[in-house]
Structure 1
């Protein structure tokens, strides 16, 4: 009978140690971290405008680098990035389904067509046009699955909200983004 008690005590201690180590690893090493989404470049691919009707469009080429600092990969579904100017939706950019490996960086390129008639309705359009700088906001939510060590598969989403300034004269951009992860 004494051997069974020793076996049970050792097993209980082992279970407690495994639980403590697992919880500690989860809240330190494996704690989900926000991916860094860096707008690398915005280029003006084409401009087709017809005045005075303000018909036409501006096509912007976007290159975004996503840095995944997590120990889990993320496979996301098709999504859309929404771009606003002056509170009005002026463009949508499709984001095709893909995956980002654990602790890696991925470059994503897409084209965004901004329709001039929607852009011109912004209250600050003409002053921004003459200054040569436009301030946009973008919002994106990617829904998918997080895969940690090919063992744990969890549903998750990553959202980003960015303030983007586009400077026409030198064709440069500046952006500040905030991120949120839900598992």
Structure 2
């Protein structure tokens, strides 16, 4: 009987120590997740748009060929990667979509900077048929566009924790006809969802 009591005391002591160790490990993991590993919003920088080609012929028939390059830089401060799905960037002129550029799915590694590039050719037929087009070209000398891109994906942390994330980017692009140059002002934001 004395031996079985001693055995029970040893089992109880080992179980108690094991529970304390598990509790300490859980507390450490929670503290790490809340402080260091807590998902943060990536920083998104849209670089000024580059005008890759521009050709405008007014007579005998209005013809336009415009190609612009877009570069988005994403800085991921997280200890987990951001994997996004295929998407499309849309370029609009006065509210009407005049170009689309595919953005292929990819992964932005943990604590890394990643460039997303795209080249867009503007559909001249949609642009030239707009009633404001000739006035913008001849009177103002500037064509104003809006570029929008949305990336849907997941932030993965240590391949254990996952959060849905959506990145939004919008640019106002002005192409000056006389100098054949492009200026852009962009803003971006990211939404993290559990």
TM over 0.5: yes
Aligning the two structures, in what range does the TM-score lie when normalised by the shorter sequence? 0.7 to 0.9
| Corresponding residue for residue 27 of structure 2 | 20
Gaps of 5+ in 2: 1-7
Q: Distance in 2 between matches of 1:74 and 1:31?
A: 14
Per-residue CA shift, 1:86-107, capped at 9, x if unaligned?
A: 3322221111232221101122
- TM-score (structure 1 length as normaliser): 0.78
- TM-score (structure 2 length as normaliser): 0.74
Gaps of 5+ in 1: none
| Corresponding residue for residue 134 of structure 1 | 144
Q: Distance in 1 between matches of 2:28 and 2:156?
A: 20
1:161 aligned counterpart, secondary structure: strand
| Corresponding residue for residue 58 of structure 1 | 66
Q: Distance in 2 between matches of 1:48 and 1:58?
A: 6
Displacement, 1:59?
0.8
Paired positions, count: 181
Higher strand share: 1
| Corresponding residue for residue 152 of structure 1 | 160
| Corresponding residue for residue 186 of structure 2 | 175
Per-residue CA shift, 1:128-175, capped at 9, x if unaligned?
A: 6516362514131233x54434x4374744321324343535533221
Is 1:80 aligned with 2:118?
no
- The 8 Å contact of residues 80 and 92 in structure 1, kept in 2 or not, is answered as yes
